[in-house]
Structure 1
């Protein structure tokens, strides 16, 4: 019970401090919040925007890897981010929902009702396309998208976002009469799948670094299905008034990044393993657009020395920050679940039907996939980041604590209860001095299970910008970087082991206390 009281104090302090933190963020000192989607180029462009703003003395806050267009657009509209790099074709098709809006003037008119605006063309086009291994395409005589209709046996591995977009697979299949049933794959993993010949066709971004590196052939869009995707900044329309200095310096990015420079920067991240911030810094410090040479074979081989790369990823400077964020998510969610589930278990235990109903509801919550629950919570709460992540983690933690509380109380024999009542104890006294001490080892086991679940599930929270060790896993997926994914998974596994050892010691202490009481 002492742990529950301490967690209650922490939660109360957090709730009391949050309003003062929000009030302190006045328009004069609020940061420029820069967001990104969850793929390599978006990470790099977010760093370039943030570092450019810092040149004007602006305080910046990066919200990297927030997810697909719908999530990042929602974050922008709700004011959780101020600006991010987007593409004109995506804005027209996915945000404005009108493919005829193909100029900045048209897009700005359509976006005005949402409180958004678009500007600062960065200087390159990054469109969707389909690609195949060059040797396979040459063997089958495929050079255009129209040729795919003659080969229904080909295996397609397409990103889930591309399959759901208005300008994605459904329209493409109709335009080119394609009958294939594509498999949904993460964009980064699809490159590895096509390299190992598990799939034959994948969707690519035309500035992807791995197109040439893996010897892929980009198929010609001979029926002009895909729109133009010019890189621009999508921002809240009041940003120039709120942060005029930062906005003025962001204008310097106009036409500064050409397609070859963007491909080189993507290669630095995906083939050389360079940090996004370092890539942006090197680009901004250069006197020319193309400051970095293409990676040499020696550099690529060196970057793929897995042991050294894994150690470098593990020991990166962000480890302490990510572990702290991960622990905060786990402690707050499990603490909140304990404050809900333990009292609920005590109240529901005497009522069998209500207890069964509550356990059933908690069980149903446990079966909802975590990403689906996060998406629903984002829509319901209108925010991204830590708040929906904490609600989801709390929901997942309730079932083991509630069920173990009920199971622990069921272990108390009727004879002990009758003896306590015969001695004149009230029901609260009986619960405090007899039932809870006997049930505590089982309740502790429920807390132990809840912590293990929360530590693992908290890694998913990084998909909506909640931080934690999942940031490394999410970025590693975007880069198809196994070392970076392991650098997030191994510390999370270490936290789980520490949690298990801590609860084991606690349970032993409780058992010894019970034995002493029995003696």
Structure 2
């Protein structure tokens, strides 16, 4: 028994050592440069992040790290507060109402007075207002006689498809509904997908950003805010307060962006990304060069699937899956073995690991970002490890339970200690079931790892997240297909492993080598 305990402690120590090593890994590429630029998960934020990075780059010895598509306001703001990024594009209405929970009409000076104790500041008004609004198909609005937000109250049966962030924001749907007395119950939709839904007539009203390129493209009518509910959402740079002192030359370059981007320019840049499929860095470079936008052919699916980023994304995805499942195995198997003899303790431990599976992945990632003060690789690996524990532990317990009492007693009759019985009888017989658990955990991890892109950990989810933001089905598939191929490849490997185990167990004793 002492040998068993020693083995369990060694396995747990190895797992903890690996986790400590991971704590020193860079969060994706976020720590690679002196300037780390973040973005939210919508077109305009992607473009502005590239503009910031390319503006500052000539003044830096190392290229800035751009962490695209980190998620909604809560995640990106937490990344800024924790120091995982240095700046990102934010909007005054969001800062005042959503971040500071203050008056929507708060001045920039008043905002900075409240941001300073948090180690943050808002600077460099970029020159355009990108406000929230609600929009309908113009033909439908004309048929119903709707021009203003107040008119929606006369049509309670209208279907509203609103972004989940807008539904939950302090300055979002709840405030609008109360301000205008709107009776509808909205359905949550991704912002990019909402344009497809309203174009297909599946919903009647969506929330939009006033610089969205698809408003005119789809012939939508932006409803007038006739009772002045929405504040202005002037684009600014939200940044760490020490950034101007830490990188004075780069900051001086960024200050030259003040007032340089007006609303038509921003709409045109959004259109190039959403309607022409142009890359964000190309759009930013053309804007900063001051030249005319170069119209190029939209890349096809094969070009996107085998793009230059395929190798990098594959390495990131494989690392996330291999390390998380490996750590989960090192933790889960010894823990399952340790609690197996104790029925009540075993039920409690498996219940806790099962409870982890019910926590939404984005919520868990947001909590980990706040707790660790980091984005990227480390929180993603911890989340994936937690999600991998249940199938590994449950299968380990099931495999041990399936070993008959007769075989256990036979080992004891041969003079085996409890530790030897476990190592030489029970674990070898439970091994196929245990491997099946690792197989299941690997498949789950390959799919769940795509969520890691929301916090800058890379992998094939990077394409999926960007495709969602742009409502670009080809880019979505270019991320989903390699992930599915990786899952099929892992299934084939485990099938070969299980076949080898089955063949080994069926080998007749007469074929075993005879010692003379």
**Could you state the TM-score of these two structures normalised by the residue count of structure 2?**
0.91
Q: Say if 1:172 and 1:19 are closer, same or farther in 2 by CA, change over 3 A.
A: closer
2:468 corresponds to 1:477: yes
Report the counterpart of residue 434 of structure 1 in structure 2: 425
Query: Which residue of 80, 85, 92 corresponds with 1:81?
Result: 85
2:50 to 47, 50, 75: 47
SS in 2 for 1:233: strand
Are 2:400 and 1:424 equivalent residues in the alignment? no
Q: Could you tell me which residue of structure 2 aligns to residue 203 of structure 1?
A: 207
In the alignment of these two chains, the number of paired residues is 500
2:15 and 2:327 in contact (8 A); partners too: no
Q: Matched residue of 2:90: which SS?
A: strand
Distance in 2 (CA, whole Å) between partners of 1:87 and 1:421 is 71
User: Does the CA-based 8 Å contact 2:313-2:460 persist in structure 1?
Assistant: yes
How far apart, in 1, do the equivalents of 2:110 and 2:453 lie? 35
SS in 2 for 1:154: coil
For 1:265-289, what per-residue CA distance to the aligned partner results, in whole angstroms no more than 9, with x for missing partners? Answer: 10011000111111111111225xx
Unaligned runs of 5+ in 2: 1-9, 511-516
Any conservation in 2 of the 1:124–1:231 contact (CA below 8 Å)? yes
Partner of 1:283: 287
Decide which of 107, 115, 118 is 1:114's aligned counterpart: 118
Distance 1:386 1:200 in 2: 40
2:185 to 181, 185, 189: 181
Q: Give the drift of 1:19.
A: 4.3
Alignment partner of 1:55: what SS? helix
SS at match of 1:143: coil
| CA drift at 1:445 | 0.6
- For 2:190 and 2:13, the matched residues in 1 are separated by 40
Counterpart in 1 of 2:435?
A: 444
Task: Quote the Cα distance in structure 2 between the aligned partners of 1:506 and 1:8.
Answer: 27
Provide the C-alpha distance between the structure 2 equivalents of 1:403 and 1:18, rounded to a whole number of angstroms. Answer: 27
The CA deviation at 1:231 is 0.8
Q: How does 1:333-372 map to 2 (within 5 A)?
A: 333-372=324-363
CA distance in 1, matches of 2:178, 2:131: 19
Equivalent runs, 1:159-170 vs 2, <5 Å? 159-170=163-174
Which one scores higher on RCO, CA 8 angstroms, separation ≥ 6?
2
2:196 to 185, 192, 195: 192
Structure 1, gaps ≥5 residues long: none
Q: CA shift at 1:13, angstroms?
A: 6.2
Of 20, 34, 39, the match for 1:36: 39
Task: Give the Cα separation in 2 of the matches to 1:392 and 1:512.
Answer: 36
Change (3 A) 1:429 1:517: farther
Question: What pairs up with 1:137-156 in 2 under 5 angstroms?
Answer: 137-156=141-160
2:236 maps to which residue?
Answer: 232
State how far apart, in whole Å, the 1-side matches of 2:18 and 2:186 are: 50
Tell me by how many angstroms 1:101 deviates: 5.1
- Equivalent residues of 2:213, 2:268 under 8 A apart: yes
Is 1:314 the counterpart of 2:305? The answer is: yes
Give the distance between the partners of 2:257 and 2:79, measured in 1 at CA: 23
| Residue deviations 1:166-210 (CA, integer Å, cap 9, x gap) | 211111112212111111111001000000000111111010000
Distance 1:101 1:223 in 2: 15
SS of structure 1 residue aligned to 2:507: helix
Q: TM-score, normalised by structure 1?
A: 0.91
Instruction: Tell me, in whole angstroms, the C-alpha distance in 2 between the residues paired with 1:359 and 1:228.
Output: 50
**Structure 2 residue aligned with 1:384, among 362, 370, 375?**
375
Alignment CA distance shift 1:507-1:266 (3 Å):
same
Q: Deviations over 1:235-268 (max 9, x none)?
A: 0110011111211111111111111111011001
**SS in structure 2 of the partner of residue 202 of structure 1:** strand
Deviations 1:313-341 (A, max 9, x none): 11111111111111111111111110111
Compute the displacement of 1:414 (Å).
2.3
Counterpart-to-counterpart distance in 2, 1:483 and 1:7: 43
* CA–CA distance in structure 2, aligned partners of residues 268 and 400 of structure 1: 45
Distance 1:88 1:180 in 2: 28
